[in-house]
């Protein structure tokens, strides 16, 4: 059925209102359709010279840091953890009495190649152990105001570009939501547009639209979506045709395999987001943890190998750690501090920060020694080349972690 330009504009105005309502919803951070809006100021220009690519991996549920980077040589760890404790012979030795979970074999190879940094005892004060609130704190780097993400504010300070930041998956996390701009979302599995002719007509009719802001935003959002879909599809096709021995990755491995293909395919994206869930291990933790660590290793390890010669940095974090002591259900409850992994050829490998004490606890929790915003500050300077104060409120309270890059 033929559509006139007047009919198209009328329909687009309604679409724009729907998009705006979704974008302005402050209570839902899993919004998968956001318009990329108008050009912003040039604030946040490169100050540290960082010209790398950042890949943020969010582990939802509260990753047990003491079963990721394990103080296996510490007798307090062994006595407190009971049947959850790993022996020194089991763990993958990192030195200093510490070891990786036995399933992290590929990450251990990257550690040996000096492409993995472990930042110990990372967290924040006044943690309430709520999954949702604590993840919002991490993703916003916020204190009172958590309406935008730390990388969303980085987007706000740059040129409008739908390729600048991409979330791989089904939703847009808070960390890529800004006040003026957001990241784009692409699915792991390709979902071709049902009718390419309709897409072409949309692009033609939306070109040069002027009028109310919602109308312009809807037209721009659609145009951006089509541009991202077209280029990503081209790179997907090329990657498939060049893969002589295709392996069907799943979960995090599938997300990071796609990110690797997009980087190798020349996409100009500076920030990618990937995610993995299932880390809320209150009961029967050991078997679940083994499976989770296999999946984490299968995702991050091969990705780091593919990116070994590129300025790509991977940041792996979770909203909080777990309690030191095992609970009555052979699991662990919500804790405080935990390790953050920062990986890539540009990082200064090894341990950063002091190993948290297993005896000087805060109500059974590890005490944070490094505020997570200090890690963000180092990443903003070393990878993205921006002043942390342009992105993080009261950044002077959280000086960037030194010697990470």
113 pLDDT exceeds 50? yes
What pLDDT does 142 receive?
85
What is the average per-residue pLDDT within 329-338?
96
- Of 223 and 396, which is predicted with more confidence? 396
Q: In degrees to the nearest 10, what's the CA dihedral of 106, 176, 280, 119?
A: 50
Residue 397 is classified by DSSP as G
What is the residue-wise DSSP string for 155-190?
HHTS---TTSEEEESSSB-GGGB-SS-B-EEE-SS-
Question: 285-306 and 251-264 helices cross at what angle (nearest 10)?
Answer: 10
Nearest residue to 343 via CA among 288, 377, 292, 383: 383
What is the average per-residue pLDDT within 242-259?
82
Residue 194, C-beta contacts closer than 8 angstroms, at least 6 positions apart: none
What pLDDT does 195 receive?
60
351 pLDDT exceeds 50? yes
CA distance readout (Å), 329 to 285, 288, 322? 9, 13, 14
* Cβ neighbour number for residue 322 with a 10 Å cutoff: 30
Looking at every residue in the chain, the average pLDDT score rounds to: 84
Write the CATH number of the domain with boundaries 5-397: 3.40.720
17 pLDDT exceeds 60? no
The confidence band for 125, taking pLDDT boundaries of 50, 70 and 90, is confident
- SS3 per-residue string spanning 16-79: HHHHHHHHCCCCCCCECCCCCCCCCCCCCCCCCCCCCEEEEEEECCCCCHHHCEECCCCHHHHH
What pLDDT does 27 receive?
37
What pLDDT does 229 receive?
80
What pLDDT does 237 receive?
84
* Three-point CA angle 243, 345, 174, nearest 5°: 80
CA quadruple 67, 70, 76, 79: dihedral sign:
positive
Nearest residue to 153 via CA among 167, 141, 166: 141
What is the residue-wise DSSP string for 142-159?
-SS--SS-HHHHHHHTS-
- Of 344 and 363, which is predicted with more confidence? 344
Nearest residue to 343 via CA among 69, 167, 91, 119: 119
* Cβ neighbour number for residue 199 with a 10 Å cutoff: 16
213 pLDDT exceeds 80? no
Q: Does an H or E element contain 347, and which?
A: none
Query: Which sequence spans correspond to the domains of the chain?
Result: 5-397
**Which of 109-113, 158-162, 272-276, 285-289 has the least mean pLDDT?**
158-162
Share of the chain above pLDDT 90, in %: 66
d(CA 121, CA 111): 19
Phi, psi for residue 225 in degrees, rounded to 5 = -60, -45
What pLDDT does 240 receive?
81
């Amino acid at each position: 059925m033929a559509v006139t330009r007047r009919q198209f504009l009328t329909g687009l105005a309604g679409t724009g209102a729907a998009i705006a309502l979704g974008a302005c919803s402050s209570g839902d951070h899993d919004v998968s359709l956001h318009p990329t809006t108008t050009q912003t100021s040039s604030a946040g220009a490169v100050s540290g010279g960082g010209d790398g690519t950042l890949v943020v991996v969010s582990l939802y549920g509260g990753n047990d840091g003491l079963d990721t980077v394990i103080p296996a040589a510490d007798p307090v760890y062994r006595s407190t953890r009971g049947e959850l404790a790993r022996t020194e012979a089991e763990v993958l030795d990192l030195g200093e009495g510490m070891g990786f979970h036995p399933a992290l074999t590929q990450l251990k190879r990257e550690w040996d190649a000096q492409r993995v940094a472990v930042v110990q005892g990372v967290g924040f004060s006044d943690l309430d152990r709520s999954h949702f609130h604590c993840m919002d704190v991490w993703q916003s780097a916020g204190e009172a105001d958590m309406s935008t993400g730390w990388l969303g504010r980085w987007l706000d300070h740059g040129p409008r570009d739908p390729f600048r930041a991409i979330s791989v998956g089904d939703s847009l996390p808070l960390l890529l939501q800004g006040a003026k701009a957001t990241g784009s979302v692409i699915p792991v599995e390709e979902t071709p547009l049902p009718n390419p002719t309709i897409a072409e007509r949309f692009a033609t009719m939306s070109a040069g639209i002027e009028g109310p802001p919602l109308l312009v935003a809807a037209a721009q959002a659609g145009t951006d979506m089509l541009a991202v879909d077209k280029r990503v599809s081209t790179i997907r096709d090329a990657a498939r045709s060049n893969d002589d021995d295709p392996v069907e990755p799943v979960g995090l491995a599938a997300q990071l395999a796609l990110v690797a293909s997009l980087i190798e395919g020349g996409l100009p994206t500076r920030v990618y987001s990937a995610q993995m869930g299932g880390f809320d291990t209150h009961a029967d933790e050991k078997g679940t943890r083994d499976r989770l660590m296999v999946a984490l290793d299968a995702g991050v390890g091969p990705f780091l190998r593919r990116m070994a010669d590129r300025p790509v940095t991977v940041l792996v974090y979770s909203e909080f750690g777990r309690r030191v002591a095992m609970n009555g259900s052979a699991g662990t409850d919500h804790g405080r501090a935990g390790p953050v992994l920062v990986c890539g050829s540009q990082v200064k490998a090894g341990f950063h920060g002091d190993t948290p004490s297993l005896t000087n606890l805060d109500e059974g929790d590890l005490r944070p020694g490094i505020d997570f915003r200090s890690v963000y500050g180092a990443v903003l300077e070393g990878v993205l080349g921006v002043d942390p104060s342009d992105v993080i409120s009261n950044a002077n309270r959280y000086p960037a972690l030194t010697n990470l890059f």
